[in-house]
Amino acid sequence: MYVVPLPRLLSSTGLGALTLPGSPRVAVPSDDLLGLGRIVASLIDGGEARVGGEAELVLAFGAGEGEEYELVVTGEGATVTAGTAEGLFRGATTFAQLVTPGRTVPCVRVSDGPALAWRGLSLDVARHFFTVEQVKKVIDLLALYKFNVLHLHLTDSQAWRLEIAAWPRLTGREHYTRDDYREIVAYAADRFVTVVPEIDMPGHVLAAVQAYPELGGRDEPAHPLVPFLDPRAEVVWRFVADVLGEVAALTPGPYLHIGGDEAFGMPEELYAAFVSRALGLARATGKRVVGWQEVSRSGALTAADVAQCWVGDGDAFDAEAARETAPPSYHALIDLAARAFEQAPHDVPAAVQAGAAVLASPSRVLYLDRRYAEPSVLAEQNERRERVGFASYRPMTSREYFGWQPGELVEIPDGARLAGVEAAVWCETVKSFDDLAFLLLPRLAGVAEKAWTEHATAWEDFRERAAGHVSWWERLGWDGYYRSAELFA
DSSP string of 109-159, one letter each residue: EEEE--S-SEEEEEEETTTS---HHHHHHHHHHHHHTT--EEEEE-B-SS-
Query: Quick one: which of 38, 69, 76 has its CA closest to 55?
Result: 76
90 and 124 together in one domain? no
Centroid of chain to Cα 82? 25
Specify whether the CB–CB gap between 196 and 253 falls below 8 A: yes
Q: How many CB atoms lie within 10 A of CB 164?
A: 22
Annotated catalytic residue within 56, 68, 262, 422: 262
Domain boundary among 112, 145, 177: 112
19 and 144 together in one domain? no
Query: In b/e form, how buried is each residue of 277-302, taking b as 16+ CB within 10 angstroms?
Result: bbbebbbebebbbbbbbbbbbbebbe
CATH number of the CATH domain containing 323: 3.20.20.80
134 and 47 together in one domain? no
CATH number of the CATH domain containing 66: 3.30.379.10
What are the helix and strand counts (H, E) for the chain?
A: 18, 15
98 and 223 together in one domain? no
86 and 164 together in one domain? no
252 and 149 together in one domain? yes
Spell out the per-residue pLDDT of the chain, length 489, in tens: 899 999 999 999 888 899 999 899 999 999 999 999 999 999 998 889 999 999 999 999 998 899 999 999 999 999 999 999 999 999 999 999 999 999 999 999 999 999 999 999 999 999 999 999 999 999 999 999 999 999 999 999 999 999 999 999 999 999 999 999 999 999 999 999 999 999 999 999 999 999 999 999 989 998 899 999 999 999 999 999 999 999 999 999 999 999 999 999 999 999 999 999 999 999 999 999 999 999 999 999 999 999 999 997 666 677 777 787 778 877 888 888 888 888 899 999 999 999 999 999 999 999 999 999 999 999 999 999 999 999 888 999 999 999 999 999 999 999 999 999 999 999 999 999 999 999 999 999 999 999 999 999 999 999 999 999 999 999 999 999 999 999 998
In terms of phi and psi (left: phi > 0; alpha: psi -120 to 50; beta: otherwise), the region of 217 is left
Q: Indicate whether 456 belongs to any domain.
A: yes
Q: Indicate whether 160 belongs to any domain.
A: yes
Radius of gyration, alpha carbons of the chain: 23
**Strands 194-201, 255-259: pairing kind:** parallel
Domain boundary among 59, 83, 112: 112
14 and 83 together in one domain? yes
**What is the pLDDT, as a whole number, of residue 339?**
82
Specify whether the CB–CB gap between 300 and 350 falls below 8 A: no
**What is the pLDDT, as a whole number, of residue 322?**
75
37 and 157 together in one domain? no
**What is the pLDDT, as a whole number, of residue 479?**
96
- Cα→Cα distances 162→121, 172, 283, Å: 19, 10, 20
**Amino acid type, 424:** A
**What is the pLDDT, as a whole number, of residue 316?**
63
388, 393, 397, 402 alpha-carbon torsion, rounded to 10°: -110
Specify whether the CB–CB gap between 93 and 138 falls below 8 A: no
Q: Kindly report whether the peptide bond that precedes residue 395 is cis, defined as omega within 30 degrees of 0.
A: no
Q: By CB neighbour count within 10 A (0-12 exposed, 13-18 middle, 19+ buried), where does 237 fall?
A: middle
124 and 238 together in one domain? yes
Give the residues across from 162 on adjacent strands.
176
Cβ neighbors of 169 (< 8 A, separation 6 or more) are: 211, 212
Please state, in angstroms and rounded to a whole number, the distance separating the CA atoms of residues 385 and 397: 12
State the pTM of this model: 0.97
Q: Indicate whether 30 belongs to any domain.
A: yes
239 and 301 together in one domain? yes
DSSP string of 243-286, one letter each residue: HHHHHHHH--SSEEEEE----TT--HHHHHHHHHHHHHHHHHTT
Q: How many CB atoms lie within 10 A of CB 187?
A: 19
Q: Indicate whether 140 belongs to any domain.
A: yes
75 and 134 together in one domain? no
The DSSP code for 160 is B
Please state, in angstroms and rounded to a whole number, the distance separating the CA atoms of residues 484 and 373: 10
Specify whether the CB–CB gap between 145 and 448 falls below 8 A: yes
Total of domains in the chain:
2
Q: Indicate whether 405 belongs to any domain.
A: yes
424 and 325 together in one domain? yes
Q: Indicate whether 344 belongs to any domain.
A: yes
Centroid of chain to Cα 155? 16
Segment (H or E) for 309: strand 306-309
Segment (H or E) for 241: helix 234-250
Please state, in angstroms and rounded to a whole number, the distance separating the CA atoms of residues 317 and 94: 42
Q: Indicate whether 487 belongs to any domain.
A: no
Overall residue count recorded for the chain in this entry: 489
Range of the domain at 213: 118-475
68 has catalytic annotation: no
Query: Quick one: which of 244, 280, 286, 254 has its CA closest to 118?
Result: 254
Alpha carbon distance, N-terminus to C-terminus of the chain:
20
Please state, in angstroms and rounded to a whole number, the distance separating the CA atoms of residues 442 and 473: 9
Q: Indicate whether 231 belongs to any domain.
A: yes
Domain boundary among 66, 97, 112: 112
